[in-house]
Structure 1
Amino acid sequence: MDKLAGALERVNSVIGHILCRAALGMLLLQFVIVLLRYVFGFSYIFLDEGVLYFHASIFMLGAGYTFLVNAHVRVDIFYAKLDERRQAWIDLFGHLFLLTPALIVLIWFSWPTVRGSWAILEGAISVGGIPASFLLKSLIPAYCILLLIQGLAAFLRDLQKLKGANA
């Protein structure tokens, strides 16, 4: 179980490290946009959309990594005061009955839109923009899959905690 959980976690770890560099790319692109607009008087819609693509990719693909490093938002008024075993039980419940069903529903309802977008290779959001809206829409199922992968890894880790507590 430990090896499988580790392999699943590596997926989001690698993606998270790539996205750290993408954040730098987004920052540099925004700097170029500001420089071009306010120093040279040029504006390009495809560059502005580039920042949007970077931002959407970082946010959507980074959710699994955020879950991996336990940096997601958690309202833990009671949770923080519980022992590790009770926390594991709560997490198992959340993974099985909240996270997984919600992500499956999101994939189910977004898939026709994503599939349709790919079928026509849907173009730019704005005239003169990046002709790849289908890639943006593909971030939705990718987001779900990466969170499901991390949810499974966390589920396996929680099972290990409960096994260790019973031993």
Structure 2
Amino acid sequence: MLDGILWFFQNIGLAFYNFGYAITHPGLWLDWSDKQALMRFVYYGGSVEFFFVVFTAFLVLTALGIWRRSIMWGAVRVLEGFANTVGRFFAWAGLLMVLQQIMIVFLQRIFRVAEIQVGPLGYAFAKDLSWWGEELKLYNAMIVCLCASYTFVQSGHVRVDLIYSAVGHRAKRAIDMFGSLFFMMPAAVLTWMYGWYFMWRHLITPKPSASDTLERLLMKSRALRWNVETIGFSPNGFNGYFLFKVLLVAFTAMVFLQAIAFFYRSFLEFVEGEESAGKYLDRDSLGAGEEAYEGTH
């Protein structure tokens, strides 16, 4: 027990050194022309060291926010603004998905076209209709992964409410703080740990493993080469499934950041009282006269 506590605080202390060393020596992990640098990036992206750097940064920002609430409100506005900006942009993928599906149906059923070419003559990107049909899954994945935090900010997720609506303002904020700390953050961390190596196993070879030490990965770097997954479910089908692994990692990062924003907002609304509920909250509106329909989607 004592050893575990000592290990925990040692890693928090080392986080400052590790962060400073990484910032002052970017070539050791960002110069991907060096195979060992790429392997260091892979290792540290899912490492205990990286976790404690993020965790310590959260502790420092929280302490500053408690000392001066304007800092915490600033973090809330930046993180929620980031979620809204990304979500509003990639929400247009839904329209692209519908338009592309309509185009595929017309070209396939009416004009009997076998492939679609996109781009200027001589440099056209040509793929079979089945490729474009399967590629629609990518738009759907973009909406799910990159708009989840945006939907959370907009209160658009389905909620099963058994207790929440019956309690007061401070009790609700306490429930929100507990949920963000003990459900959202741990779930995001676990998904990141699995998703990070899952992504890289489909991008490079030899395949890295979560159980590999840094020394073992550096040894593997001698035979390192890019091996991006290009296998489809059908001969002429969509072959960019590695993008789904990238989206999984992006999704977990955005959920973790939103968990921080939600915890900070809940804490501030708990401390400042009911008058601060919804402060600086940037929610979409359907316009004047449509208030009855908002929040029902």
TM-score surpassing 0.5?
yes
Aligned to 2:76: 5
Paired residues of 1:67 and 1:147 also in contact (CA < 8 A): no
Aligned to 2:198: 113
Q: 2:107 aligns with which of 29, 36, 45?
A: 36
Aligned to 1:68: 153
Paired residues of 1:4 and 1:153 also in contact (CA < 8 A): yes
2:268 corresponds to 1:160: yes
Letter in 1 for 2:256: L
Bigger radius of gyration among the two:
2
CA offsets 1:62-111 (integer angstroms, 9 cap, x no match): 11111111111211121012222111100111111111111111111122
Aligned identity (percent) is 29
CA RMSD of aligned residues (A): 1.6
Paired residues of 1:88 and 1:158 also in contact (CA < 8 A): yes
2:94 corresponds to 1:23: yes
Consecutive unaligned residues of structure 2, counting only runs of 5 or more, are: 1-71, 115-128, 205-226, 275-297
CA offsets 1:100-137 (integer angstroms, 9 cap, x no match): 11111111112221011121211142322333221111
Aligned to 2:180: 95
Paired residues of 2:88 and 2:147 also in contact (CA < 8 A): no
**Which has more helix, going by share of residues?**
1
**Which has more strand, going by share of residues?**
2
2:168 corresponds to 1:83: yes
Consecutive unaligned residues of structure 1, counting only runs of 5 or more, are: none
Query: Distance between the aligned counterparts of 2:102 and 2:142, measured in 1?
Result: 19
CA offsets 1:120-159 (integer angstroms, 9 cap, x no match): 2111423223332211111111111111111111111001
Query: Distance between the aligned counterparts of 2:78 and 2:203, measured in 1?
Result: 30
Aligned to 1:145: 253
Cα shift at 1:13: 0.6
Query: With CA pairs under 8 Å and 6+ residues apart, which has the higher RCO, 1 or 2?
Result: 1
Instruction: Give the number of aligned pairs.
Output: 166
TM-score, normalising length: structure 1: 0.93
CA offsets 1:38-82 (integer angstroms, 9 cap, x no match): 212335121112211111111111111111111112111210122
TM-score, normalising length: structure 2: 0.53
